[in-house]
Structure 1
Amino acid sequence: TGAPSSPSYVPGVLSSNSDVMTFMERVSNTIHAHIPKLIWPMMMGPYDEMFTQHFGEEFPKIFDILEKNSYFFVNAEPITDFPRLITHKVVDIGGISTWSNILNLRKKTVLLSFGSVAKSYLMPE
């Protein structure tokens, strides 16, 4: 995503720590934060080989594709998630299924927004 990782206060995926950590928990969290970077090539290697065999040598590696993405959708609620650094590429979509449920309750739904970049003239009747 391009956002720097800060294991000093953001718990890693493999960590059981909270965002309030002792010094040793921070050391442990830093180690846990680097484990996925070591495992990634082993996990993605077979898929990269499969894509190379099917599409040829010019097909980019999965990591390169992820590195150049325009957006990164995260299924997290920013209000309840741990504080973390993010870039403009990160879009939190936590609770998106709730919106689907609300919009599907009735045949027609009026969406009112104060301060949106959505162009209402492009919305269907």
Structure 2
Amino acid sequence: MSITLNHTIVYARNRDASAGFLAEILGLPEPKPFGPFLAVQLENGVTLDFYSDDHQTRPEHYAFLVSETEFDCILARIQSRGLPYWADPFHRRQGEINTNDGGRGTYFEDPSGHNLEIITQPYGSGA
């Protein structure tokens, strides 16, 4: 049996704002309603199911493995919106990307304060 992640719930101050932001920044299809959730479908079949709840919202970290071309497109969307981004998870190197494991990566925040990351190489995979 192959075990894969199917979905996870992402608590957000505003599910519509956070789900829409993620889909737009990553270049994914529009989020779809599913009960009280708004689901963002990733290409591997996993969904991030956004749920509005101020009481449960605390910053989480979500990392996305993307191609080099996707990285360029996503970074361009981040920059065109004038969003801050950082080379490190502690947000000390603003306006930079990292080259960990021979790839590229950067961090940015969604409207609920979640620390989002895009990387082109999995951690521990190279250089």
Relative to the length of structure 1, the TM-score reads: 0.29
> Structure 1 or 2: larger helix share?
1
> Structure 1 or 2: larger strand share?
2
Relative to the length of structure 2, the TM-score reads: 0.28
